Structure 1
Amino acid sequence: MPTRKPALPAPALSTRERVLGAAERLLATGRPEFSMRDLATEAGVSFATPFNQFGSKVAIMHALSAERIEAMHARLAASAPPEPGPARVLAAMEIAASVMLERPEVNRVVMGALGAPAAAPGHVFARSRALWAEAMGDAATFADPAGANALLPDQLAFAFRGVLSFWTAGEIADADLVASARRAAAMAMLGFAPPEMRRVLLATCSR
């Protein structure tokens, strides 16, 4: 019989990954107020390391947010959504909301932290805008492709962030997040949708 090859060990985590993983674990166990010393202990690194890697706790939350948006990009690319256009944007909204629902107790804290004052502006808006621009594609299926390309990625980013803010505050239940995100996207796209798609978007808004 052929001998079974031993499984290869998992690649070692980078220091950055260890710190972010520790932050997620602390948030998941109900410790959103964790200190940077708590974080260093959980990650098994020196007290200075989280500061050297990120600079502040707010920056760590921004890094966790960036990981979520990267996951949304990856799942959109790996899925088989409709062709670029309104239908694909709705599918992307569903994917994005589903990512947030995977660890709601962590992601609510992350979202809450994004609105806190920081020494320098973050990049959440730019990352979110890029996600919706990817979902839209070249906007050829919209009634006004040039206008859609110029305006809709921003409006979709605003719409998704708005829905997430009410979800973070507990005013939108987990069970309603996907539908709420889809409705917000449908409303944002109505002004750029061709007649046949307007019917679909209006139906989405009423659900």
Structure 2
Amino acid sequence: MSRREDAKAERRRRIVAAARDLIKETGDAGLSMRAIAARAGVSLTTPYNLFGSKRAIVIALLDDVREFHERFSQLHRVGAVDRIFQAVSITLAYLADDPDFYRTLWTEALRFDSKELRGELQSPQRYGFWWALLNEARTEGALLPEIELDPLLRALDAVFVAGMLAWVLGAIEVNELEAHVGYGYALALRGAASEGHAARIEKRLIGFQRELMRQRAKPVAA
């Protein structure tokens, strides 16, 4: 990479970092390009020249797909159903690592007029990844052959979005998300499971249920 390209890449990193910091500090995903440029220490034209729009900067903020796949690929190879729950765990770990940032994004995404941001959070790439995991599970015989993958995936997505909504509204804490989402996934997958794999999913279901009951039993702060 040339010195000019290095400098360009560094400005891009500064702009993305500035946008992320501002979102965390202000609790608002609707930042101005002027504020982003000022925080990054670049001219107002630089973000437009490098990204083109605020939407492109937000997409860059969400561009953790490569890192996700690297982390996922390094996990011990297990059956497809277990890999689904591993993927849930990794996905929610991003939220736990930076809750202020992701809470702001999901708060914005869950607004009725934020279809564009929702489209980025629920992208075709994400759909393809999860569809492939479900297809692998069906190929392994873990799912009933008559189960259609698209409605099953949409049911799982509904569970995930419901968990995000509960978190955004303050009904649950970020460290409780995995039990809530995992329980819903286990319920859906248990209903779609073949006879030979139902017991493994049921074991996970009971584990998530135990954790949910433990969370409910915690004393409420005065």
Where on the TM-score scale, by shorter chain, does this alignment land: which range?
0.7 to 0.9
State the TM-score, normalizing by the size of structure 1. Answer: 0.76
Match of 1:127 among 116, 125, 128: 125
What is aligned with 2:178? 178
Q: How far did residue 104 of structure 1 move?
A: 0.7
CA displacement at 1:107 relative to structure 2: 0.9
Change (3 A) 1:72 1:148: farther
Superposition TM-score, scaled by structure 2 size: 0.72
Give the whole-Å Cα distance in 1 for the aligned partners of 2:76 and 2:143. Answer: 24
Q: State the alpha-carbon separation in 2 of the partners of residues 105 and 167 from structure 1.
A: 11
Q: What residue is the counterpart of 2:33 in the other structure?
A: 36
**Aligned match of 1:25 in 21, 25, 28?**
21
Return the match for 2:67 from 68, 71, 75: 71
- 1:45, 1:119 → 2: CA distance? 30
d(CA) in 2 for partners of 1:180 and 1:137? 24
Matching residue within 110, 121, 128 for 1:115: 110
Match status 1:100 vs 2:95 = yes
Q: Which runs of 5+ in 2 are unaligned?
A: 1-5, 211-222
The residue number in structure 2 matching 1:142 is: 142
Gaps of 5+ in 1: 1-10
Q: Output the amino acid matched with 2:17.
A: G
Larger RCO of the pair (alpha carbons < 8 Å, separation 6+)? 1
More helix by share: 2
Query: Any idea what the Cα deviations from partners look like across 1:112-142, whole Å, max 9, x if unmatched?
Result: 1223435857343223322322433522133
Distance change (3 Å), C-alpha of 1:166 and 1:144: same
- 2:76 paired with 1:80: yes
Moved more, 36-45 or 142-151: 142-151
Root mean square deviation of aligned Cα: 2.8
Tell me if the contact between 2:109 and 2:115 (Cα under 8 Å) persists in the aligned partners: no
Say how many residue pairs are matched: 193
Could you tell me how far apart the structure 1 residues matched to 2:189 and 2:147 are?
11
Identity within the alignment, %: 23
Instruction: Name the stretch that deviates more: 163-172 or 139-148.
Output: 139-148
1:55 to 31, 53, 56: 53
Change in CA separation of 1:148 and 1:73 when aligned onto 2, cut-off 3 Å: farther
Q: Is the 8 A contact 2:96 2:175 kept in 1?
A: no
